[in-house]
A and B are shown apart, each in its own frame.
Chain A
Amino acid sequence: SQQGEEDPQALSIQEGENATMNCSYKTSINNLQWYRQNSGRGLVHLILIRSNEREKHSGRLRVTLDTSKKSSSLLITASRAADTASYFCATGAGGTSYGKLTFGQGTILTVHP
């Protein structure tokens, strides 16, 4: 079963608006990552946040992590039509499964020009 559950499943916004996607998970993690997938392509890594971090920024991306609530959010500011894609959260457990990631079901983001 998938560790991460994204919410909402689909999000439709206008260019220039902010987009917020949420991810919840069940077990302890070492880190949480967000990936993007354009239609028909492979996933591309966006940002990683470690379990001892609470917030991280990268360009127009802002990720938060609340380990007490086992949840994370991805905020894309000033969205563009080119941001249209599916976004997945993935959790890494560390330890003997250090390289393994468990992906959520994804959020489909549509940004209208």
Chain B
Amino acid sequence: DAGVIQSPRHEVTEMGQEVTLRCKPISGHNSLFWYRQTMMRGLELLIYFNNNVPIDDSGMPEDRFSAKMPNASFSTLKIQPSEPRDSAVYFCASSLPGLASNEQFFGPGTRLTVL
């Protein structure tokens, strides 16, 4: 299995531009998580989906952030308009929660820089 795939790996954009981050979870996993990591705030859970349905979006910082999961193999995180304070590494993770384990598998991350 290729693991969780994220694209792009790096994104540099200017303030005010729209940014779309993409994630392909591990095949068969039914939970998908979007995290943001910064030095100041550490690793923050933004939103997570179960069977393509958003379960908890309480971590989404504001209306500029939105996430979708149109099918089991694809999710997007969109920031519109972007601001310099959105600069961070964004991780996608997937899992197959069950009685045995709810281990999460992380993608390599997208490093976002907003100028």
Contacts and interface: CB of A to CB of B under 8 A. Distances in A.
A59 interface: no
Contacts of B4: 42
B106 A44 contact: yes
Contact of A101 (B42, B91, B102): B102
Is chain B's interface secondary structure helix, strand, loop, or mixed overall?
A: strand
Interface residues of A, number: 22
A100 B45 contact: yes
Contact of B103 (A2, A33, A100): A33
Interface in B43-57: 43, 45, 48, 50, 55-56
A82 interface: no
Contact of A97 (B56, B93, B95, B101): B56
B113 interface: no
Is chain A's interface secondary structure helix, strand, loop, or mixed overall?
A: strand
A48 B103 CA distance: 8
B48 A100 contact: yes
Given A2-B42, A88-B43, A106-B42, A99 B109 contact: no
Nearest to A2: B42
A100 B35 CA distance: 11
Given A98-B97, A99-B50, A45 B104 contact: yes
Given A42-B91, A43-B91, A88-B43, A99 B106 contact: no
Interface of B: 4, 31, 33, 35, 42-43, 45, 48, 50, 55-56, 91, 93, 95, 97, 101-109
